[in-house]
Amino acid sequence: MTQEHTAEQHWLGRSVKRKEDDRFLQGKGNYVDDINLPGMLHMSILRSPVAHARINSIDTSAAAALPGVVAVVTGELLAQHNLAWMPTLSGDTQAVLATDKVRMQGQEVACVIAEDPYVAHDALELIEVDYDPLPVVVTPQQSLEPGAPVIRDDKEDKQDNRIYHWEAGDPEATERAFAEADRVVEYETFYPRCHPAPMETCGCVADVDPVTGKATIYMTSQAPHAHRTVFALVAGLPEHQIQIISPDIGGGFGNKVPIYPGYVVATAASLLLGRPVKWIEDRTGNLISTGFARDFYMKGQLALREDGRMLGLRVNMLSDQGYAYADAQPSKLKAGLFHIVTGSYDIPAAHVVTDGAYTNKAPGGVAYRCSFRVTEASFFIERLVQTAAYELGIDPVELRRRNFIRPEQFPYTSATGFVYDSGNYEAALDKALEMLGYEDLKAEQARARQEGKLIGIGLATFTEVVGAGPSKDYDILGLKMFDSAELRVHPTGKAILKIGVQTQGQGHETTFAQIVANELGIPPQDILVQHGDTDNTPYGLGTYASRSTPTAGAATAMVSRKLRDKARELAAHLLEVAPEDLEWVGDRFQVRGAPDRQTTIQEAAFAAYTNHPQGMEAGLEGVTYYDPPNMTYPFGTYAVAVEVDRGTGQWKVRRMVAVDDCGVRINPMIVEGQIMGGLTEGFAMAAMELITFDELGNCIGSTFSDYLIPTSWETPKFELGETVTPSPHHPIGAKGVGESATVGSPAAFVNAVVDALAHAGVRELEMPIGPDKVWQAMVEAGLAE
């Protein structure tokens, strides 16, 4: 066949429209709550009104008698089946339904299963629980005081509330660096508790077939395979008898990584009752009981020479984990990625100490659009560097430039032992400064100050680390963090790609098809991408921490290459030449020196089923499990200019410039969408998102009227730029990007607001920065009007 070769060969870097949007834009998405099975029952959860109490008794008789109620499940009933407690993804335990005590407000105490969701809900009010209140611990500082009530006294060997103590870096080298320093700059802050608050709350439909015993669980899960394994271990069911299906997911952001009691009780109830059971969480349930983020105290010092050269870094961190250690942390890296706390800077020595403590609050500390604790680490170093710039009287831009890891230093081993793959920090900084018009803005800021107006400029020149991860270091509950792709090309050249990761809105159905298209020349519209069904996709650890592109994206490229190798053999057979005589030109093989003799990938696929050489296995399909050799290290510069009103403390974003480098971009439009979403969440953390507690452990921030999330009205305009520094070890040079903007931007916003007041000595404003805090700081600094 000698058809003209017109196909576009390169599918990377093209803003292909999202394939999945057809169904979303027509209202045809299929979320868990859209699933309705014959004979399905509905479950509602009774939650504890108090943060810490002994349970004397639970009387469910009136609820059970309400017409329409089928069953009331308590911890006592679950205990009979050895299901009252379950493992968390960090290897701790968490109550499914409380038995002895409640340990946080909102804890799951009992569940009603009824014919109708409203009856299930109404019946909750008929359950009588007799609580004996206990002293409440709401901060990790209180929790670690000698004599504090031991929250996890269910564990026989637990005498205090400390969960972990972890250190990284070299304490002696750090001491020496501090001894040599001209200046030591300190910074202390609290990264408050916030919540991923995805648009869709958590929920499931559990359907245990009474005949076959097979459990089919439709579930809001970011990690269906890992969850299936945990279900198998908890329930003692064989894995082939558990199918977890994550249909369309309305946002996850880390919130749908942990396993929640609702999933377990619904499944147990379906098993016991022989009928499907649906549980859909309400908004308050989601905000008060599911994985929160941050709640993290940080303090540290930077040792510098007078000229601004950084010599050493010391950091102490304390984490409030709630009453169970339930965020997903690699077992070898307990403190997560505090290890990149040295940021984009060549700091020769560092010592990082971190502790985690139980409190009477919801478990979590989940990576809200972040890899483990990288958001906190990034925020800390970017705020510390700005503070150092003020203390040394060096422009924050200049101080950063003097300390950046230089391009020729990559691969760069940080003082805490991580190997950064590639970077060019100055290029991203220069681009952002140019876009912002930094010098002009500085001049305007100086003029404005003379006129009594407050303008602030804030930067974050962040590095982050995504793509968990190399199996030698990264696991969740012992499950290694590789990922997978299975590709099948059918006789007519149309393909199905099955991946181990799980999209929640990131557009994998498009970008992963683009990766295959780029490797095989099959256009994306001819490739169906499937995910989120444990019976029908290869094993993988799921989507969070921007790991999909670095892991399953790499697996997709590698499996495509495997198929291309086989297609070469098939093409050689068809063209009656040796495979080495063929060259690949993007979507076909052509004979070297005779380009009119060609075989397209579609023709090779057809031959795989109709005309394969004798001795060759038929078919064109394969699977790859990809174990990345390293993480990827995206980076960027975010620059923010704000104006502060001296009469009210209100601050307004005037400009927000974001230059990101995530290596090779598969789909620039999707990448920009990811960045804009992440910047919005970063702005939200800086300006308004807060979950807090009173001294009795009552959660303040349990509805959207007091947990504030930004609408388009509050969200600033973002100006995006890019540089491209490919990852040297990723098959297509891509780095993850989904979380970069959430990780990097809060520091840029806070740095900008602080900068507006810095000439009057203000150094710190704790997030979220409402006008009240700015006003207070202005009053103290004599800037208020």
Residues annotated as catalytic (active site), given as ranges: 222, 369-370, 739
Build a one-symbol-per-residue string for 557-586: x at contacts with ligand CDP by CB under 6 A, - elsewhere. Answer: ------------------------------
Q: Are strands 215-219 and 242-245 parallel, antiparallel or unpaired?
A: parallel
List, in sequence order, the alpha helices (H) in 369-437. 374-392, 396-403, 425-436
C-beta of 144 vs 664, nearer to ligand CDP: 664
Taking alpha carbons only, the member of 513, 477, 483 closest to residue 495 is 513
Footprint (CB under 6 A) of ligand CDP, residues 732-751: 734-738
d(CA 624, CA 631): 18
Q: Which of helix, strand or coil describes residue 158? A: coil
CB of 708 to ligand CDP, least distance (A): 24
Taking alpha carbons only, the member of 770, 749, 624 closest to residue 683 is 749
Contact pick of 671, 684, 720, 769 for ligand CDP (by CB under 6 A):
671
Question: Using the rule CB under 6 A, is 762 a contact of ligand CDP?
Answer: no
Tokens of 71: 């069953």
Structural contact between residues 108 and 129, judged by C-beta atoms closer than 8 angstroms: no
Beta strands (DSSP E) in 214-342 are 215-219, 242-245, 277-280, 292-293, 296-304, 310-320
d(CA 281, CA 31): 13
d(CA 741, CA 716): 14
Contact pick of 431, 547, 573, 588 for ligand CDP (by CB under 6 A):
547
C-beta of 672 vs 755, nearer to ligand CDP: 672
Buried b (16+ CB within 10 A) or exposed e, 22-57: eeeeeeebebbbebebeebbbbbbbbbebbbbebee
Taking alpha carbons only, the member of 187, 193, 413, 465 closest to residue 315 is 187
C-beta of 664 vs 696, nearer to ligand CDP: 664
Question: Using the rule CB under 6 A, is 360 a contact of ligand CDP?
Answer: no
Structural contact between residues 522 and 602, judged by C-beta atoms closer than 8 angstroms: yes
Question: Using the rule CB under 6 A, is 624 a contact of ligand CDP?
Answer: no
C-beta of 144 vs 669, nearer to ligand CDP: 669
Tokens of 324: 């169970």
Options 356-364, 453-461, 547-555, 710-718: segment touching ligand CDP (CB under 6 A): 547-555
CB of 338 to ligand CDP, least distance (A): 21
Question: Using the rule CB under 6 A, is 524 a contact of ligand CDP?
Answer: no
C-beta of 252 vs 697, nearer to ligand CDP: 252
Contact pick of 48, 375, 511, 742 for ligand CDP (by CB under 6 A):
511
Structural contact between residues 559 and 551, judged by C-beta atoms closer than 8 angstroms: no
Question: Using the rule CB under 6 A, is 666 a contact of ligand CDP?
Answer: yes
Contact pick of 347, 665, 718, 729 for ligand CDP (by CB under 6 A):
665
Options 108-116, 542-550, 561-569, 688-696: segment touching ligand CDP (CB under 6 A): 542-550
d(CA 278, CA 266): 7
d(CA 528, CA 775): 54
Question: Using the rule CB under 6 A, is 597 a contact of ligand CDP?
Answer: no
CB of 615 to ligand CDP, least distance (A): 38
C-beta of 207 vs 660, nearer to ligand CDP: 660
Contact pick of 289, 387, 506, 518 for ligand CDP (by CB under 6 A):
506
Q: Which amino acid is at 101?
A: K
CB of 475 to ligand CDP, least distance (A): 18
Tokens of 223: 């990690």
- The residue behind tokens 């015993």 is 213
d(CA 63, CA 273): 17
Question: Using the rule CB under 6 A, is 543 a contact of ligand CDP?
Answer: yes
Whether the bond between 771 and the residue before it is cis, its omega within 30 degrees of 0, is: no
Question: Using the rule CB under 6 A, is 371 a contact of ligand CDP?
Answer: no
Options 225-233, 480-488, 658-666, 684-692: segment touching ligand CDP (CB under 6 A): 658-666
Question: Using the rule CB under 6 A, is 476 a contact of ligand CDP?
Answer: no
Percent helix, strand and coil across the chain, each to the nearest 5: 30, 25, 45
Number of residues that bind ligand CDP (CB under 6 A): 24
Contact pick of 371, 674, 723, 725 for ligand CDP (by CB under 6 A):
674
Question: Using the rule CB under 6 A, is 507 a contact of ligand CDP?
Answer: yes
C-beta of 108 vs 421, nearer to ligand CDP: 421
**Site of interaction with ligand CDP (CB under 6 A):** 506-508, 511, 543, 546-549, 553, 662-667, 670-671, 674, 734-738
